[in-house]
Amino acid sequence: MRFSENVTLLGASKVKQRVLTEALAFAPRLVAADGGAKNAVKIGRIPEFVIGDFDSIGPDMLSEIPENRRIRVTEQETTDFEKCLSILDAPLILGVGFLGRRIDHQLAAFNALARFARQRVVLLGRRELCFHLPAELSLPVAVGTRVSLFPMAPVSGRSDGLRWPIEGLAFAPDGRIGISNITEKTTLRLQMDGVGMLAIMPRAVLAQVVRALGR
């Protein structure tokens, strides 16, 4: 399913209206992951498509979604978020409603970011955002911006602009992690030697991240 514009992908966790509005400003095409359709209908929006096995949508709610907008994926081996990432092709995907409600769902979303590293995806929460780092990233930031690096696989890299440089460090999910680093320059540069590193930053840098990751 190919889009030429950025996509806002709406999950089932509780979503603040201002967060969704901000996401749609950068990613105007709205797609829902299964139960995320309920979040869309609550604000009077019918998603362009709803993707999932529809086990989180009651018959009454499903009836509000036109049949030609329902993409049913019946297998039970993957989450609805993974189903969406396997189908969607867009310059950038902003995921809203995938953080905060359940720890297991949130961890599954982080896992998917690493396994679908070819996709450019940003998960947006009330205060923070999270994305998988590409091989190279140059990001304009304010000095003092918090940057946490969390590995989902063994990975190493280099940085310019962080108070504590990462060069020479071997990161791993069961070893070294890099939370609560801080920028000391107005441009943050990161180079990764492989896939698996997630960046977690304040939601205030969303505009810069969208520009840096967009294709």
Paired with 178 in beta bridges are: 149
Per-chain mean pLDDT for the chain? 92
pLDDT at position 91, please? 96
Rounded to two decimals, the pTM is 0.93
pLDDT at 63 over 80: no
pLDDT at position 203, please? 95
pLDDT at position 49, please? 93
Percent share of the chain, pLDDT over 70: 100
pLDDT at position 167, please? 96
Q: Which of 3.20.20.100, 3.30.9.40, 3.40.50.10240, 2.40.10.350 would CATH assign to domain 7-126?
A: 3.40.50.10240
pLDDT at position 22, please? 93
**Gap between the Cα atoms of 183 and 147, Å rounded:** 7
pLDDT at 75 over 90: no
pLDDT at 100 over 80: no
**Gap between the Cα atoms of 196 and 134, Å rounded:** 9
pLDDT at position 92, please? 97
pLDDT at position 57, please? 77
Could you give the C-alpha distances from 213 to 44, 122, 171, 174, 207, in angstroms and in order? 30, 9, 23, 28, 10
Q: What is the dihedral of CA 193, 198, 200, 205, to 10 degrees?
A: 70
Could you give the C-alpha distances from 98 to 161, 163, 176, in angstroms and in order? 30, 30, 26
Query: CATH 3.40.50.10240 spans which residues of the chain?
Result: 7-126
